[in-house]
Copies of this chain bind each other. A is one copy, B any other.
Amino acid sequence: MNLNKAKDVFRNYIQEKGLRNTQQREVILDAFLSTDKHITVEDLFNVIKEKNPGIGYATVHRNLNLLFESGIADEIKIGNQKTRYEPKLGQTHHDHLICIKCKSFIEVHDDKIEKLQDKLAEANDFIPVRHKLEIYGICKKCK
């Protein structure tokens, strides 16, 4: 999914749910899609605030939820850390290896695992929509 595709997906989602396309929503959409990875509500709010001081924290928060619901954002919750969001653009889905010592995390992906997950869900009469795989352990640096 590229940038414009992502915008379309979001706008369609808004329309289909009978919601409205506001200026704030567009600003937040743009800002979010051009951020670096793993941004928190607070991070995004601070970025937006510079050029759009009128937009409130609650609005950013609400719209990040919408971005997630629409499917163009991934939500990353690790432990008790604050929720992070990440645009789903070109890259494939990925999981995380999380270091229990330094709290850093790296992204990984394994097609075989993904396929087995789908099989596992099917075997239980379950329609998989999304998933979260976190492997906790000790990273290279902390060994």
Q: Which one of A124, A126, A136, A138 has the greatest number of beta carbons of chain B within 10 Å?
A: A126
- Is A58 interfacial (CB 8 A cutoff)? no
- Give CA–CA (A120, B94) in the complex, Å: 12
- Chain B residue at minimal CB-CB distance from A131: B135
Q: A113, B124: Cβ atoms under 8 Å?
A: no
Of the candidates B126, B132, B137, B140, the one whose C-beta lies within 8 Å of that of A129 is: B137
Query: Given A125-B140, A127-B143, A143-B127, is A135 in contact with B117 using a C-beta cutoff of 8 Å?
Result: yes
- Is A89 interfacial (CB 8 A cutoff)? no
- Give CA–CA (A99, B120) in the complex, Å: 14
Q: A127, B137: Cβ atoms under 8 Å?
A: yes
- Give CA–CA (A77, B80) in the complex, Å: 10
- Is A116 interfacial (CB 8 A cutoff)? yes
Copies of this chain = 2
- Chain B residue at minimal CB-CB distance from A97: B126
Q: B121, A135: Cβ atoms under 8 Å?
A: yes
- Is A27 interfacial (CB 8 A cutoff)? no
- Give CA–CA (A41, B43) in the complex, Å: 32
- Give CA–CA (A137, B132) in the complex, Å: 12
Point out residues on A near B: beta carbons under 8 Å.
77, 79, 97, 99-100, 106, 108, 110, 112-113, 116-117, 120-121, 124-140, 143
Closest 3 pairs between A and B when the two form their complex, measured CB to CB = A125-B140, A128-B137, A129-B137
Q: List 9 A-B contacts (CB under 8 A).
A: A97-B124, A106-B126, A116-B116, A124-B140, A125-B143, A126-B138, A126-B139, A127-B143, A131-B133
